Structure 1
Amino acid sequence: MTMTKAEDQTIDALLDAEQARFLNDHPRSAAAWQKGQQHYLFGGPSHWMRRWAGGFPIYVESAQGARLQDIDGRAYVDFCLGDTGAMCGHTPAPVLRAAHMQLARGTTMMLPTEDSLWVGEELTRRFGLPYWTLTTSATDANRGAIRIARMITGRRKVLVFSGCYHGGVEEAHVELRDGKVGLRNMIHPNGVDHGAVSKVVEFNDLEALEKGLAEGDVACVLMEPIMTNFGMIPPLEGFHAAVRDMTRRTGSVLVIDETHTLSSGPGGYTALHGLEPDILVAGKAIAGGIPAALFGLTREIAERVWKLVPRVNPRIRQSAHLGIGGTLAGNALTVATMRAVLSEVLTPANYEIMIGLASRLAEDARVIISAHQLPWHVTQVGARAEIMFMPSPPKSGADVIAGRRANLETLLHAFYINEGILVTPFHTMFLMCPATEAADVARHADVFERFVKLLRKASVV
């Protein structure tokens, strides 16, 4: 929906007012942010931390469960949850206990612990793939999956879907704009020839996918089962079955990244919908906020790897490096907390609670949208929901580009943070954790209703 110049100017004025309110209410965070400019490249430990709509980030004093307190003494209901990293909640008791116990025994030795045996068995039980490798981030896991795909296929290119996000993977930094391939999200060129290593097509476009795979140069298709970074883009009926069939026929490895869609249930979207990836990636929440991720392989893919790099070779002292991994990957602290997450936090019972609350939040938002006859919709993926300012779910990244109202999203984020609610600053996505309560969801409905009335009063919806 195209907005008029006057409507855009009104939204800008509303945003100015919210940012002024934010500055007034957060003097200590404002001062801390100014001090941070002295020693950090973009003001904070990570440049992502500047992306909050208030104009600068709040500085956190403490976080517990689904609540967060800043250094200005203000409290928040947290639906951002570290953009999924804290999907288990902040400082969940099982993770805290496991971390304390392992810290006393040693954090990282580049040697396995017995916890790793339990974790490996549980990963196979949940996700169905038999062989796993742990990494320190989903970016590393995706890089490992890509390298393995190239090893066993001898091919170079990675096919991704426009609007995707797979961490810092260079091959995925591409998108389609007006039918042309370019770098996504204002990423600056760094000398990589993306034409040589990447292909990009629109999500749900099976004709373009088949054309891209037919040339026989794609090592792997890297995808989320439902796109979550560009606004949620659900798969059309039959899309996943067609992707699986095409990749098998053309010899491309299918890599499914469940880092966000782990919100679907204990085995992610893959287990819930019976998908059959060659490699599965998950990260962020898998160790309760401790930096960790993993990727799993089918037996067929593993055997192809072992032909190139045998599992055991007693004639040599060292195995091949493989070009993936890291000194801290699979460290004892990570594995201990991962065991706690899988055994006591991301359980079927907790998922039932989380998904129920997400369903309630989504339905409340739909009722408000309907009551005000707004051309908006809500999409839910398990414990995650998203409000999008367009009439129906997009089918592709191109649909998002055509219909997205980015300034309205920014205004919502600023209004919400002033009202004590945190949502993911990159899009309007809400995530539940086991500590989220019905009162938190009810509070969101109240704040969302008041946001809509603010827009109505300003005559911009």
Structure 2
Amino acid sequence: MDRTRLQDLLARESADAERLNPRSKAAYARAEHLFGRVPMTWMNKTAGAFPRYLDTARGARVTDIDGHEYIDFSLGDTGAMAGHSPAVVAEAVQRRFAEQGGATAMLPTEDAEWVGAELTRRFGLARWSFALTATDANRWAIRLARAVTDRPKILVNSYSYHGSVDESLIVVGPDGHGTARPGNVGAPCDVTLTSRVAEFNDLAQLERELAHGDVAAVLMEPALTNIGIVLPEPGYLAAVRELTRKYGTLLINDETHTFSAGPGGCTAAWDLEPDLLTIGKAIGGGIPAGAYGLSAELADRLLGRADLDLVDMGGVGGTLAGNALSVAAMRATLEHVLTDEAFAHMAKLSERFAAGVQQGIDAHALPWTVSRLGARSEYRFASPAPRTGTESEAAGDPELEDFLHLYLANRGILLTPFHSMALMCPDTTEQDVDTHTRVFADALAELAH
């Protein structure tokens, strides 16, 4: 690739973004009271000099304050996998908050048992508790794992994503052993005191770390996502389950992003058998919600422990966790929006999206690949596709990624800003996918000119 041409094209697209979005540019310049000028600093992870500001969002469409409408394949980095403001979820939230009230009354609702039963149907775990985010669900699952095993450490895969959980911010270093993930902010201690790490798809490394006998739980995504999609090799996940049982270690599946694999995530699609499962984002239809599930055997062991304060100050819970508003949103989303039929529709669109990307790659004989996980597709600047998190991180090309993101956004298409990921929702159409295929092909043609 001609890097000079890439830089020239990126400069052109950046200038076009500033010209096309004066109101967003001005709003960003005025935001002097926000840390980093944005509500959350990760909102600065955007191609261009400033983020585009939201005006409205419905279904698979987003409109910014400059009046530009976008086909949204980002969908809140999975948070809006049900589409933006699904009518049935909006009605349930309106009914609970404005008509019934009591969103934070600290009392259970009957909706909670319905949601728990539905999550059991989908994922197989027998007992459920709620959180406001998947990060919180992971933190609570970790505490329970440590309590029941009396072991101090958590093992994760290098460059996996589990929110801002301190124990997860560890990667495999050049020497093959764990080290702090670069850029971690305010770590409470050396992460190797709390955590172990193994590369995804590396069973020998996993067994080496488990053999120490101090790992309470393996917390893992069944497929890596936030570093780019890295799919498990045949037999890998079954072997992980065998090794965790061999060494008396619990297995926690984080399905927050891998929920895209189907109605029960990878756990149902691939017949996995975790001891705990965490999920968030998508199940609330845009309302903050998370959940963690436990096997019946594990739940009974924990509830039978008289020394654990699971009711008051034991660190498992939060005042707003399981609130009536979030639970109503979860029920509406799971019952009426992210249904089995919706997932089938979304997966078919994702397959079409991946095929369109592959056409573009093949047309220019690019050393790239496209990976897919159910309703989620992603193009990678490597061939063959990376098989570990560290390989995936090394395959990144920020300059190329920024060009593609800006090129698409300037022509009405949004990808997830953290990587080149596209997610389908129930409202996404074949025409939306084909529009991306056409614009993506135009971008490649300009690069190759």
TM-score interval w.r.t. the shorter chain? over 0.9
- The residue aligned with 1:253 is 250
Pairing partner for 1:346 from 338, 349, 362: 338
- The residue aligned with 2:424 is 432
Do 2:277 and 2:294's aligned partners in 1 also have CA atoms closer than 8 Å? Answer: yes
Pairing partner for 2:198 from 165, 178, 201: 201
- The residue aligned with 1:142 is 138
Do 1:108 and 1:331's aligned partners in 2 also have CA atoms closer than 8 Å? Answer: yes
Q: Which amino acid aligns with 2:178?
A: V
Question: Which runs of structure 2 are paired with 1:182-197 in the superposition (5 Å)?
Answer: 182-184=179-181, 186-197=183-194
Q: Alignment identity in percent?
A: 48
Q: Which amino acid aligns with 1:21?
A: D
Pairing partner for 2:129 from 128, 133, 138: 133
- The residue aligned with 2:269 is 272
Deviation, structure 1 residue 49? 1.0
2:352 partner SS: helix
Pairing partner for 2:219 from 222, 241, 244: 222
Pairing partner for 1:83 from 66, 72, 77: 77
Distance 1:183 1:454, change over 3 A: farther
Do 1:183 and 1:189's aligned partners in 2 also have CA atoms closer than 8 Å? Answer: no
Write the distance in 1 (CA, Å) between the matches of 2:183 and 2:217: 25
Do 2:345 and 2:426's aligned partners in 1 also have CA atoms closer than 8 Å? Answer: yes
Q: Which amino acid aligns with 1:17?
A: R
- The residue aligned with 1:414 is 406
- The residue aligned with 2:119 is 123
| Deviation sequence 1:255-310 (CA, Å, 0-9, x none) | 00000011111111100110000001111001101011000000121122122248
Pairing partner for 1:401 from 385, 393, 400: 393
- The residue aligned with 1:166 is 162
1:42 partner SS: helix
- The residue aligned with 1:383 is 375
Normalising to structure 1: TM-score of the pair? Answer: 0.94
Distance 1:448 1:251, change over 3 A: same
- The residue aligned with 1:304 is 301
Write the distance in 1 (CA, Å) between the matches of 2:155 and 2:130: 24
| Deviation sequence 1:322-371 (CA, Å, 0-9, x none) | 31211000100111111101110011111111111111011111122112
Number of residue-to-residue matches in the alignment: 446
Deviation, structure 1 residue 176? 2.2
- The residue aligned with 1:284 is 281
Write the distance in 2 (CA, Å) between the matches of 1:306 and 1:285: 29
- The residue aligned with 2:16 is 21
Do 1:259 and 1:283's aligned partners in 2 also have CA atoms closer than 8 Å? Answer: yes
Distance 1:139 1:42, change over 3 A: same
1:349 partner SS: helix
Distance 1:420 1:154, change over 3 A: same
1:133 partner SS: strand
Aligned CA RMSD, in angstroms, stands at 1.6
Pairing partner for 1:365 from 357, 361, 364: 357
Pairing partner for 2:33 from 22, 34, 39: 39
- The residue aligned with 2:109 is 113
Deviation, structure 1 residue 321? 3.1
Pairing partner for 1:151 from 147, 150, 158: 147
Deviation, structure 1 residue 403? 2.9
Normalising to structure 2: TM-score of the pair? Answer: 0.96
- The residue aligned with 2:384 is 392
Q: Which amino acid aligns with 1:283?
A: G
Write the distance in 2 (CA, Å) between the matches of 1:420 and 1:327: 40
Write the distance in 2 (CA, Å) between the matches of 1:17 and 1:176: 38
Q: Which amino acid aligns with 2:127?
A: Y
Do 2:133 and 2:280's aligned partners in 1 also have CA atoms closer than 8 Å? Answer: yes
**Structure 1 stretches (4+) deviating beyond 4 angstroms?**
none
Write the distance in 1 (CA, Å) between the matches of 2:186 and 2:59: 40
Q: Which amino acid aligns with 2:242?
A: D
Distance 1:153 1:201, change over 3 A: same
Write the distance in 2 (CA, Å) between the matches of 1:217 and 1:435: 46
Please say which of residues 188-197 and 253-262 is displaced more in the overlay.
Answer: 188-197
